[in-house]
Amino acid sequence: MVDYIETDNSTEDSDELYEHYRIVVDGGQALLRLDKFLMDRLPNVTRNKLQGAIRSESVQVNQKPVKVSYKVKPKDVITVTLAEPPRETDIVPENIPLDIVYEDEELLLVNKPAGMVVHPAYNNWNGTLVNALTYYLQNLPTTRNGEGRPGLVHRIDKDTSGLLVIAKTEYSMAFLAKQFFDHSIERTYYALVWGVPKEESGTIAGHVGRSVKDRKVMAVYPAGDYGKHAVTHYKVLQSFKYVSLVQCNLETGRTHQIRAHMKHIGHPLFSDATYGGDKILCGAPNGTYKAFVENAFKLMPRQALHAKSLGFVHPTTKELLQFNSELPEDFQAVLDKWKIYEG
């Protein structure tokens, strides 16, 4: 007999970097310390990481938090939420300036500029946020404890600007990862979209997954027969003649969630080439109006999306922290143009 193990790896098609396991202990299991039991069953997980997860209540037995010394019993149901596992690729520290909004011993918050990739990957091995963080954190415990990388528990697209929280300890990584898994993190985005939504506010609920036609694009599957559960709440903040400034609050964090959801309801993000927003979708595409829009595209040659605010419970003080960021120059410039456009 073996334990029954379910795995939910949320690093794929997700902006949230965690893994979730559900283990039903075999009926013949002898009493064994929880951390030792899990060490034998979870891949690429250190004892320190497991103990940090247990202390942060990211490991629960029969839906209740337990101590590291808990002895696993037959038929126990164990759930584990872990931050993203270390990558095999060595990360080269790079002295890249960071816009740090907040920092203490447990975490730091950065305001990522548009154009910066978060994680090293194919065609983007250098100049990423992780390269910059690895350099900045190289003299702190996060790197000396063998983990070898800074602790991101979520990410945003290369051409999306805005706030990201980074954990500096194993405990904080586990604590923050659990908040993302529980959907208790407050995330607000500002998006400039084509058109004016019929309703001033609403909720878009539709599974998001890779398009079967183009793997680089995410599609919405309302029937839930494919992809992962995704929910976006939106509110129109300002409407102009052909575009609207919309606030989006994420209940889940799927890759391209806002971009795919807004296109699904007929309002692609302005200047979003991947989802068709880099074309004139409202208004006649000619004359002075065409020149106006093309000039706006040049001012902001990326999707009009900014991660504006972030709220979460601090790992050690348990205080609810709220952070807000200003719109970057390109976004504000395009917004100002639309405010005065009379066409």
- 299: burial class by Cβ within 10 Å (0-12, 13-18, 19+)? middle
Sign of CA dihedral 332, 334, 339, 340: positive
CA distance 115 to 117: 6
Gap between the Cα atoms of 49 and 45, Å rounded: 6
Q: Quick count: other Cβ atoms within 10 Å of Cβ 101? A: 16
For residue 213, count CB atoms less than 10 angstroms from its CB and return exposed for 0-12, middle for 13-18, buried for 19 or more: exposed
Query: CB-based contacts of 10: which residues, under 8 Å, 6+ apart?
Result: 16, 17, 18, 19, 20, 181
Answer yes or no: 157 catalytic: yes
Q: Helix 287-299 vs helix 329-340: angle between axes, to the nearest 10 degrees? A: 160
Q: Whole-angstrom Cα distance, residue 125 to residue 147?
A: 19
Q: Please say whether the beta carbons of 277 and 271 come within 8 A.
A: yes
Q: Which of 15, 157, 159, 272 is catalytic?
A: 157
H or E element in which residue 296 lies: helix 287-299
Q: How many CB atoms are located within 10 Å of the residue 199 CB?
A: 10
Instruction: Report residue 100: phi and psi, to 5°.
Output: -90, 120
Q: For the chain, how far is it from start to end, CA to CA, in angstroms?
A: 73
H or E stretch covering 333: helix 329-340
Q: Copy the structure tokens of residue 94.
A: 């790079």
**Helix segments in 66-203, DSSP class H:** 129-136, 141-144, 170-181
Cite the active site residues: 157
